[in-house]
Structure 1
Amino acid sequence: MAIINHESNTLNHSASFTSKDVFAKRKAGDLDEAYQIGFKLVQSLPNDEWNVKALGWCLIDLVKRESQANNFEAVNVYLTQLNNLSFDPSDKIINDQIAFVNNLSNPANRELQKAKKASKDGEHQLAINTYRQVLHEQPDNQEIMLSIGWELYRLAKLQFNSENLNVFAVKKLLNDYLKLNCEKPSLLHSLVLGVADKLTKENNFSLVGFIKVWGIENLRDEDFEEYHDINTGKVYPSLAAKVIQHASKQAVEQSELDLLSKMLPLIDKVLETSEEKIWLELNKARALNLLGDFQSSFELAVKVAKQKIGDYWVWELLGDIQINLDINKAFNCYCRALSSNPEEKFIANLRLKLARLLTEKGDFSAAKYEVNSVVESRNKEGWAIPEKVNEFLSQPWFDDAEAAKNNDDLYKNFASQAEEVLFQNLPWIKANLGGAFSLPDKPNKKRRKIYLYNSANQFPTEITLPERRFPFNKFSEGTPIQFKGELDPTTNHFTAFQFEERDGSHWDVFSLVVGVVDNVNENKKLIHVIFDRDVDTVIPFSRLSQRYEVGDSISVKLSKSKTKYGIKYYSVEIYSTSEAPSLKILKPFSEAVRVSNGLGFTDTDVFIDRNLVDKFNIQDGLIVRGKAILNFNKKRSTWGWKALTIDGVD
């Protein structure tokens, strides 16, 4: 292709064209023809601003086109023409473009174009190599560093998409990125941190070591935002939440105190919005302990322990913290940890901690049992014996002491004292033991009803606990018991920590309520009793000690529970009574009645049903005496009064 042809016969009459034609042809893609017209116009009218501008834009496009084709001879010709034109200095757009295309004639820029093309074609390593050649000549060029950084990130990302992750390759890519010293904080910097976080599960990768160079202070506000998948609707933890969770755990294990100090405020920031807090709170408690804030560490560890009371490791953590506060409480916590029957191969350090305290107490027999248990377990697993074991073996008392057969009684005796440390600030909650039951779909998993005293309500709060949680089967239903625990009023979930029998009488957390029998169902052999608005229950004949008729009073201890059908009430104890029920549910009346279609209505809107109207031959205008009961009209969804018994008609 000829670079330039100014003598085109089709353009001899340039006077018939204007700059508008140049712009139009350029826009239509006829760049060469637009250039020819523009060149002629500038030759004929070199001082016309729009002619110059039209030609300038053609030359800019031509330089870009020929640069992409690596036709740098043409690039230089067009650039020479472009630089010989004069443009308004205030026209920033065209002047910036001129500056940009002038760089395209630089040999380095030719390499950059190659690198960009390689990146676009997915040849990221070739792009990196090409960029590095240019960076060697321009070592302070931040844009090139950034381009290399993006290519390194893309290569690392591809590794995670492959079937066999090459950990060494990803670690090298991360290391190469850190050497670039790219701009930070930035999107790329955060994305690279995300790659590093994915390697956390690899044993030979230290996220802590990476972050110390990456700079934990470079987390952006955006990194603390959860990720919402618009396709699935799922919500995922933020980058900061994942990284801080993993890094804080590693930093504690490696005793990285400086990093932990920097991470504490970030942990708090994540906890503000985190739904799953327990593991981050655990790491924070361990960090505070390492940093010497023992009291704060213990208070947070207690919060974690309440959620993981059955796990040995949480009691070991409490012991590790109490070592700095109260050595006796630490001893109790270690005993409580071992009373949880943990898996032997995981508790060597725990046993050796307890052995040291036993030695200080002079209980060499118990201490020797702990040390021997560690040796036996390690030999069984084929693992090395810890150096701390050798320290015990070299002590004078060790050979002379006779090892205990086991320390089970020791653990049991001090475990309860450990729980007192944990729950010392929690009050005892009075309760009565309810019945055991199992769900149809889980017949082998029995649960137990518990009725907690509720000072704010006449009805106890009904909760359920696994039957095996405590030795419930030792006691009869209604037994006075007490718990230390925490009740979530929103979900009605009760977390029970301690349990014991207490002084009191059966069903003593219940109050007696007096109700009225408003229906006796002979077929189903049960009675219906109402106590107040929305408070009623049914009682089978088999649980009654006497015969009840409509209108009789009855005294009951009621439990209240939430079911999928709404609030339900159940009678746990039933008594006969001569006490009159509340006038709120049963009232006498003596009023004139109006009868319509066989139904009666008094002046105060007591409803008399057809059966009573017929039975007592109630006529319009007569005075009727009787008792009316509170009644809910389902059709109208309103509460009113209904005649329950008729004492006379005047």
Structure 2
Amino acid sequence: MAYSSGQENINQLLERAKAASGQDDREKALSLYRQAVKAAPNLVMARTGLAWEIVKSLKEQKNNDFPNPQHFLDLLREYACIHDIKKPGRLHSQFLRWAANAAAKEKISNFISILRWWDPANFRLEDFERFRPDGGDRSFDSLVELAIRGIAKNIKKENDQYHLDWATEFVGQHYDKYPHQEWFPHYYSKLLIKTGRMAQARELLLPLVRKKQNEFWSWTHLAQTYPGDNDTRLSCLCRALLCPAKEEKYRVKVHEELAEILVEKEKLPEARYEIEQAINIQESNEWKVSAKMQLFRSSPWFSQVQVLNSNRQLYQDHSSLAEEIVFHGLPVHPAIVIKHLPEKDKRPGLTFMGFTREGSLEQVLIKTKKFPVLNNMPPGTPLSLSLELSGQEPVVINLEPREGESWDIIEPRPGVVKNINTGKGITFVALSSDEFCPVYHDSLPEIRSFEPGDGLNIRTVSEKDMKQRVVWIGKKEELPSFARRFSGSLNLKGWADFGFVDEVYIPRELVGRWELKNKDELQGVALMEYNPKKEQYGWRAVSLYRKQE
């Protein structure tokens, strides 16, 4: 039997290594397993034990936010040198999970080569599925999702064209399996740009730019898909600089790229402004001023051209081409403002809008500040919405006022005033034999001019609880099918205070209000309603008056 250092046999060494691992003493466990592998390099148990201890150490590094990236990278390399790891297998998948986590945190920059070595053929079926702990209400990224994130964070520093082509193919095969991952098309588009497939990248970017049109980086990435078209690049970069940025330093590359185009187009005062903006950002952050900006600043023309205080007019004048590209071909839907929710407790103000699609009314919610013009649009205002409908939820890309009357896209419904509670300021309107809704006098004061039995047209919108809210009313002479006019002699029951006119039930509240007597000649309006006692529908008067003799 083989011995470690000529004294201790391998089994005892492995037992000590397992004990150290069980006590979470990673360094001691790793040292003991390494001794075992060195003493018995062909012993699978020793190699597997070392591999598992490396993976546990990788996880520990991840849990501590990767305090020593170089040590983490050394552990990855050590694992790669271990032979006969079961592939596919849980151990091999765990190794990739922690490597992908490190890449996503930008702690390693060679994840694409690691994934190629690891070999995607080793993904197990469960590696494609999101992970949900037993009893948990959250799910976590699958291993494939983590791998895509890891690649995305390595794109910028990866210059090996073979690795980039390989990563592009991998992400292209898998990104659309996860439609809930909003950023995966963006990651794929960055790879496509890096590999020169601009048209395909642009196709993926356009829906994202539409959704993120107030984010400067979305227009910057779109500009990258037009490397040989300075006019379009100029427009995209100008549109980017019309967007706010969390910090100005994030836009330094935009200023640099725009400066180069403006120099080429001999717009030198405007170019000087962009150069100065880029240099100011670099110097204020104690960054090295880029060689290109230094060259421009030292050029003879730089000190001779006019000094501008702003390029905003340039941005506005040249951004229309980019907007036309982004908004071209979008469906335009008739729409209305439904309601506004004001800012509250640091939560942004929201606007609900309704639009028609395939004959039905749908609602979309946006932050009011995205389109400040909404602040001057009361509920019911007619609009035209440009919408991105490719995702799970519609996204408002643009809006414009349109000609029309308030609430015009909602089809009017016939109704009849059923009764009025003056004390509470509510009028109840029947919409069918089984449905009615309240109309609050303070919300729609015009309802006060209607009496029970009056026909009307109404427009309603659905609230969160699926109840209908009346937003518009209009007079309608013709009664709907669930209402009718009646006329005839009252037949009062001798022992009760209600009666009938033919088959129309006259309730006691109407008998008492009008002090009706038997044989009185009446006319009025009745509604078809369900009688739960008789378990059948019947006519019930909601308004009446005596016939004039």
Q: TM-score interval w.r.t. the shorter chain?
A: 0.7 to 0.9
Q: Distance in 2 between matches of 1:628 and 1:616?
A: 17
Which of these residues, 498, 501, 508, is aligned with residue 398 of structure 2? 498
3-state DSSP of counterpart to 1:243: helix
Cα distance, 1:112–1:610 mapped onto 2, change above 3 Å: same
Residues 171-218 of structure 1: per-residue CA shift (max 9 Å, x gap): 222211112244333322222222323333254553234334433443
Shift of residue 286 of structure 1?
Answer: 0.9
**Superposition map of 1:124-135 within 5 A:** 124-135=29-40
- Say whether the 8 Å CA contact 2:338–2:380 is kept in structure 1: yes
3-state DSSP of counterpart to 1:278: coil
**Superposition map of 1:287-302 within 5 A:** 287-302=191-206
Q: Distance in 2 between matches of 1:637 and 1:250?
A: 71
- Say whether the 8 Å CA contact 2:483–2:525 is kept in structure 1: no
Q: Which amino acid aligns with 1:413?
A: D
Provide the residue aligned with 1:94 in structure 2.
Answer: none
Q: Distance in 2 between matches of 1:443 and 1:171?
A: 43
Q: Which amino acid aligns with 1:469?
A: K
Q: Which amino acid aligns with 2:399?
A: F
Cα distance, 1:638–1:424 mapped onto 2, change above 3 Å: farther
Q: Distance in 1 between matches of 2:532 and 2:329?
A: 49
Provide the residue aligned with 1:370 in structure 2.
Answer: 274
Shift of residue 375 of structure 1?
Answer: 0.8
- Say whether the 8 Å CA contact 1:537–1:571 is kept in structure 2: no
**Superposition map of 1:35-50 within 5 A:** none
Provide the residue aligned with 1:235 in structure 2.
Answer: 139
Cα distance, 1:159–1:348 mapped onto 2, change above 3 Å: closer
- Say whether the 8 Å CA contact 2:52–2:91 is kept in structure 1: yes
* Structure 1 unaligned blocks of 5 or more: 1-104
**Identical aligned residues as a percent:** 22
Which of these residues, 233, 250, 266, is aligned with residue 346 of structure 1? 250
- Say whether the 8 Å CA contact 1:428–1:484 is kept in structure 2: yes
Provide the residue aligned with 2:78 in structure 1.
Answer: 176
Moved more, 239-248 or 110-119: 110-119
3-state DSSP of counterpart to 2:330: coil
Provide the residue aligned with 2:24 in structure 1.
Answer: none
Shift of residue 148 of structure 1?
Answer: 3.0
Q: Distance in 1 between matches of 2:281 and 2:227?
A: 26
3-state DSSP of counterpart to 1:340: coil
Q: Distance in 2 between matches of 1:481 and 1:189?
A: 56
Which of these residues, 200, 222, 230, is aligned with residue 318 of structure 1? 222
3-state DSSP of counterpart to 1:228: coil
- Say whether the 8 Å CA contact 1:594–1:601 is kept in structure 2: yes
Shift of residue 383 of structure 1?
Answer: 0.9
Which of these residues, 148, 152, 157, is aligned with residue 54 of structure 2? 152
Shift of residue 629 of structure 1?
Answer: 1.4
Q: Distance in 2 between matches of 1:339 and 1:638?
A: 66
Provide the residue aligned with 1:85 in structure 2.
Answer: none
3-state DSSP of counterpart to 1:406: coil
**Superposition map of 1:118-517 within 5 A:** 118-122=16-20, 123-135=28-40, 138=42, 144-160=46-62, 165-183=67-85, 184-200=87-103, 201-203=105-107, 205-264=109-168, 266-267=170-171, 270-274=174-178, 276-323=180-227, 326-342=229-245, 343-393=247-297, 397-433=301-337, 436-438=340-342, 442=345, 445-453=348-356, 456-457=359-360, 461=362, 463-470=364-371, 471-475=373-377, 478-486=380-388, 495-517=395-417
* Structure 2 unaligned blocks of 5 or more: 21-27
Moved more, 500-509 or 371-380: 500-509
- Say whether the 8 Å CA contact 1:479–1:505 is kept in structure 2: yes
- Say whether the 8 Å CA contact 2:66–2:107 is kept in structure 1: no
Provide the residue aligned with 1:96 in structure 2.
Answer: none
Shift of residue 309 of structure 1?
Answer: 2.3
3-state DSSP of counterpart to 1:473: helix
Q: Which amino acid aligns with 1:285?
A: S
Q: Distance in 1 between matches of 2:293 and 2:107?
A: 26
Bigger radius of gyration among the two? 1
Residues 410-455 of structure 1: per-residue CA shift (max 9 Å, x gap): 212333442221121212222334554437x648744345343566
3-state DSSP of counterpart to 2:225: helix
3-state DSSP of counterpart to 2:395: strand
Q: Distance in 1 between matches of 2:541 and 2:251?
A: 73
Cα distance, 1:166–1:290 mapped onto 2, change above 3 Å: closer
Provide the residue aligned with 1:71 in structure 2.
Answer: none
**Residues 1:582 and 2:480 aligned together:** yes
**Superposition map of 1:23-42 within 5 A:** none
Residues 144-175 of structure 1: per-residue CA shift (max 9 Å, x gap): 43343233334444555669844333322221
Q: Which amino acid aligns with 1:295?
A: A
Cα distance, 1:537–1:135 mapped onto 2, change above 3 Å: same
Cα distance, 1:191–1:450 mapped onto 2, change above 3 Å: closer
Cα distance, 1:608–1:301 mapped onto 2, change above 3 Å: same
Shift of residue 483 of structure 1?
Answer: 1.9
Shift of residue 283 of structure 1?
Answer: 0.6
Q: Which amino acid aligns with 2:335?
A: A
Q: Which amino acid aligns with 2:52?
A: W
Shift of residue 347 of structure 1?
Answer: 1.5
Shift of residue 371 of structure 1?
Answer: 1.0
Residues 210-262 of structure 1: per-residue CA shift (max 9 Å, x gap): 33443344333332222221143432111221122122331354244433433
- The alignment's C-alpha RMSD in Å is 3.8
Cα distance, 1:163–1:268 mapped onto 2, change above 3 Å: closer
Moved more, 594-603 or 270-279: 594-603
Which of these residues, 115, 120, 125, is aligned with residue 13 of structure 2? 115
TM-score (structure 2 length as normaliser): 0.82
Provide the residue aligned with 1:50 in structure 2.
Answer: none
Q: Number of residues paired by the alignment?
A: 530
Provide the residue aligned with 2:509 in structure 1.
Answer: 611
Cα distance, 1:638–1:481 mapped onto 2, change above 3 Å: farther
Cα distance, 1:249–1:587 mapped onto 2, change above 3 Å: farther
Q: Which amino acid aligns with 1:115?
A: L
Q: Distance in 1 between matches of 2:475 and 2:182?
A: 51
Provide the residue aligned with 2:25 in structure 1.
Answer: none
**Residues 1:530 and 2:434 aligned together:** no
Residues 121-141 of structure 1: per-residue CA shift (max 9 Å, x gap): 2142343233233345x5xx6
Cα distance, 1:187–1:345 mapped onto 2, change above 3 Å: same
Cα distance, 1:627–1:404 mapped onto 2, change above 3 Å: same
Provide the residue aligned with 2:23 in structure 1.
Answer: none
Q: Which has the higher contact order (CA 8 A, sep 6+)?
A: 2
Cα distance, 1:462–1:617 mapped onto 2, change above 3 Å: farther
- Say whether the 8 Å CA contact 1:368–1:403 is kept in structure 2: yes
Shift of residue 377 of structure 1?
Answer: 1.4
3-state DSSP of counterpart to 1:347: helix
